[in-house]
Structure formats: structure tokens, C-alpha cells
């Protein structure tokens, strides 16, 4: 009788666990894209962050990885945020976007005051800065990619292990502050009672296998790939007989080299039609877009901001075709100063 009761009790426990945890949630992913991913765009991938239930930044806990399991789990040095950021960079490298190398971002951010006294990233300050501030003051980039890990679960329940990752990504224009692309998703994998083989031996073995750090790494890679998939475009090689874009003439309306605050600068260019054109003022004011008002005729304006300041800077026009080939021309006028 006692043996039968024990069997019944174990069966009840197993049944309850199966009912409460059976059936892993299907992977989810949503996307919103508001730009042409085949156009050249220089992107900075910020350090990713982990977000708590109340929206606060959280520091990685030593318990997030269980790596000291002989014959089961390889040592994983990355924090969750570092791992997912690295996976995102690898995925973005296969797109048409020009992505700044992470090591460059890591080195430069502290030089511009985005680090704590111990040298660690000041994530609060980084994420409080606007994309314009980051790209103009720190890097020459067109957009900033933000990554927020909103769930990172690696749980072991004796007869079941659960690995889950949820992630939000957002690409924001440095010039306009417009969200060019956003994606959110979640993925998970279970080992043991509810997610794997149901033999009694497997009920013990599979959850232990679920401790392998390779599983959550694989889930993260799968999720990042799914979220960034809309940015992949089929590349077309330039036709052998198609020349790069040409600029035939360019000029601006401040021939004396002086621009007063409250006034504006007008730049004109005649170039190959149906391309993307922009102009820059030295290294201070970069890639101001120009509109093609008529085929081959490009027009752009610069209105100084209160924070802008430059002296004796040349004005350069660039034209970029659909294959990413760029031609530049220096406007032959006196260097420009803002007064």
C-alpha cells in the first residue's frame, strides 16, 4: 500500500508539472521598417542593456550562466548583453549597412565621458544621450542601434530546464531622431518533462543537458537572426558598363566665406540623376541631405543650430548611387566660418 501511495504521489507531481509547464511558447517576432535597407547607412551599435521588470537597467548576475558543469557546459565569458550585441553585430555585417566595429565604439565611448570611474560603461548616460549627440560628438555615423534584453531566463527545476530570451531592437536616425527600424521577439527552449523526451531516464538527463550554455547562445543567435532578417537585401553587382556617379558642378551662396547665425547656407549641385546627394561642412557638420528638385539638379540647405561652431571649413558635396559608390567634389570657394 505504501509503495502504491508513493507511486501515485509521484504520478500526481509529474502530471501537475506537465499541466503547468507543458508546451513551450512558440517563437515570436514583430518588425517595423521605415527606410530602404539597400541604401548606404553608417550604424553604431551601442552596448546592449538588460532591463528589469520595472524598466530599470540591471547588472548581470553570476547566476545567469551555469558553466561549471563538467562534460555539459563550456565556459562562457560574455555577459548576456555582450553576447547578444556580438551576435547582432555579426548579423548586421551581412547586410548593406556599414557597421562601426564594436571595439572602436568600446574604446571611444569612455573618451567622451560615457564611462564610470572604474572604466565600465555608464549605460544610463549612454542611453540618455540622443543619437545626434552620439554621432556628431563621438562618431561620424548616420544611425544608432539600441538593444534591450527584456528577458533572460536560465532555470533548472530538477526534472526540467528552461532557457528563454526576449529582445527589443531599435535603429534611430542621428539626423532626424526618426525610428528607422524596430523589432521585438522572444524565443525559448525546454529540456525535460515538458519540452523533451518523456522516458524516465530522459527526465533526469535532458534537464542537465539543458544547463549547457550553448543552448541559450543558440537561442539568442536564432532570435537575433529572426529580428534582423528584414534588413537583409539581395545585393546586385554594378553592371560592368555602368560608371560611378558624376558631379558636374557644385556651388553655395556664401562666396565671402561668412555665415551669420539666423541665416542659412544654400548648396546646389548638378550630378548624375536618380542618386542620393548630401553636403558636409568640414568635419563638424556632416552629410546634410540634398533633394533632387529636377533630374540631375540637387538642392540643400543648412540652418545653424545654437550649439554649432566652425571656422574656415570647406564645403563638400557627395553623390551616392544605388550600389553604394560615392563621388565627392570640393566646392571651390573661400572656407566657411559661422559667426
From first to last of its 339 residues, the chain has per-residue pLDDT tens of 544 444 444 444 443 444 344 344 557 889 999 988 887 788 999 999 999 888 888 876 544 444 444 444 445 567 889 999 999 999 998 888 989 888 888 888 888 888 888 888 899 999 999 999 988 767 778 999 999 999 988 776 666 778 899 999 999 999 899 999 999 999 988 876 544 444 433 444 444 444 567 788 889 999 999 999 999 875 545 554 568 889 999 999 998 899 998 899 999 999 999 889 999 999 889 889 999 988 899 999 999 988 889 999 999 999 988 777 889 999 988 899 998
pLDDT of 83-124, one tens digit each?
A: 999 999 999 988 889 898 888 888 888 888 888 888 888 999
Domains of the chain, CATH where assigned: 23-231 (3.40.50.10610), 247-338 (2.60.40.10)
Which residue, 334, 338, 256, 269, is CA-closest to 302?
Answer: 338
DSSP code for 64: G
Which residue, 246, 263, 266, is CA-closest to 255?
Answer: 266
CB-count exposure of residue 39 (10 Å: 0-12, 13-18, 19+) = middle
pLDDT of 245-275, one tens digit each?
A: 899 999 999 988 999 988 999 999 999 998 8
Q: Are 81 and 49 in contact (CB under 8 A)?
A: yes
Q: Are 168 and 69 in contact (CB under 8 A)?
A: no
Q: Which three cell numbers stand for residue 193?
A: 518533462
DSSP code for 313: B
Q: Note the pTM of the prediction, 2 decimals.
A: 0.58
Amino acid at each position: 500500500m505504501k509503495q502504491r501511495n508513493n507511486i501515485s504521489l509521484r504520478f500526481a507531481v509529474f502530471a501537475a508539472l506537465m499541466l503547468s509547464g507543458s508546451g513551450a511558447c512558440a517563437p515570436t517576432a514583430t518588425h517595423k521598417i521605415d527606410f530602404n535597407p539597400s541604401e548606404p547607412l553608417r550604424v553604431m551599435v551601442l552596448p546592449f542593456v538588460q532591463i528589469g521588470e520595472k524598466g530599470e537597467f540591471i547588472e548581470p548576475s553570476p547566476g545567469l550562466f551555469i558553466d561549471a558543469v563538467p562534460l555539459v557546459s563550456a565556459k562562457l565569458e560574455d555577459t548576456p548583453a555582450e553576447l547578444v550585441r556580438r551576435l547582432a553585430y555579426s548579423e548586421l555585417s551581412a547586410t548593406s549597412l556599414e557597421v562601426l566595429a564594436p571595439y572602436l565604439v568600446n574604446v571611444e565611448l569612455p573618451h567622451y565621458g560615457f564611462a564610470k570611474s572604474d572604466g565600465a560603461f555608464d549605460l544610463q548616460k549612454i542611453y540618455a544621450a540622443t543619437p545626434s549627440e552620439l554621432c556628431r560628438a563621438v562618431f561620424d555615423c548616420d544611425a544608432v542601434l539600441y538593444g534591450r534584453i527584456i528577458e533572460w531566463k536560465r532555470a533548472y527545476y530538477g526534472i526540467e530546464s528552461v532557457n528563454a530570451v526576449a529582445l527589443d531592437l531599435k535603429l534611430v536616425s542621428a539626423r532626424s531622431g526618426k525610428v528607422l527600424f524596430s523589432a521585438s521577439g522572444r524565443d525559448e527552449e525546454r529540456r525535460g518533462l515538458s519540452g523533451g523526451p518523456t522516458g524516465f531516464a530522459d527526465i533526469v538527463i535532458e534537464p542537465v543537458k539543458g544547463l549547457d550554455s550553448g543552448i541559450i547562445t543558440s537561442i539568442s543567435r536564432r532570435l537575433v537572426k529572426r529580428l534582423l532578417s528584414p534588413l537583409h537585401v539581395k545585393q546586385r553587382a554594378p553592371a560592368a558598363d555602368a560608371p560611378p556617379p558624376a558631379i558636374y558642378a557644385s556651388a553655395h551662396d556664401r562666396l565671402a566665406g561668412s555665415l551669420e547665425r539666423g541665416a542659412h547656407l544654400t548648396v546646389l549641385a548638378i550630378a548624375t540623376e536618380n542618386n542620393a546627394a548630401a553636403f558636409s561642412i568640414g568635419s563638424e557638420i556632416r552629410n546634410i541631405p540634398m533633394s533632387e528638385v529636377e533630374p540631375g539638379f540637387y538642392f540643400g540647405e543648412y540652418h545653424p543650430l545654437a550649439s554649432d561652431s566652425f571656422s574656415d571649413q570647406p564645403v563638400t558635396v557627395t553623390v551616392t548611387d544605388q550600389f553604394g559608390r560615392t563621388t565627392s567634389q570640393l566646392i571651390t570657394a573661400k572656407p566657411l566660418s559661422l559667426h
